[in-house]
Amino acid sequence: MIKKLSILAFALALFSCNQQKEAEANTSLTYFDIKGYFGKEISRLQQLNPMVDKTVSINGVSENKTAKITDWTKELTIFVNADINKTSWKGSFKAEKQNGAEVYTSDSKKIPIKKISVIQNGQKVDKVEIIIDNKNILYQSQDTLTYFPDSLYLIKKHQKIRLLNEKKYSVIGKLK
């Protein structure tokens, strides 16, 4: 009898876990789907395989190179990681329309992503801009990520680590 009850309890626990996963999968996104959008862009760029004129600058010293990007997932990972649809962040962003753009902002000190601006023309995205601000006792950084489909992506990073000189990085990728 105890064996049958424990099997039944195990089966019910297993069944409830599966239902919870289905419920999570059916949850609609609260904000613009950054992760999904850049996932599609990565697949599209992987297939398109365009030449990229890439300029990397560190503290004003630049290097330019034209090449094909072999791993778009790695190249655009910083954009994908700016996903604001995390369960713990639900309700932490204010959404509004400004000059034809969907703008999501957060004042929370616990959330590094401070602003996402998405300009769309119908269903087509024309521009995505993301501002990330990280601060703690030892480290401070501000990132501005800008993406124009089919033409350009720009990553600007300004960082200050206590007791070290401040650094400014930028990566500009122009698609050809």
pLDDT tens profile 61-72: 999 999 999 999
Sheet of 139-148, strands arranged across: 61-68, 51-58, 167-175, 152-161, 139-148, 124-135, 113-121, 101-105, 94-98
Instruction: Give the pLDDT confidence score for residue 136 in this predicted structure.
Output: 87
Which regions in the chain score pLDDT beneath 50? 1, 3-26
Instruction: Give the pLDDT confidence score for residue 150 in this predicted structure.
Output: 87
pLDDT, one tens digit per residue, over 142-159 is 999 999 998 999 999 999
Instruction: Give the pLDDT confidence score for residue 169 in this predicted structure.
Output: 94
Instruction: Give the pLDDT confidence score for residue 144 in this predicted structure.
Output: 97
CB distance 118 to 101 below 8 Å: yes
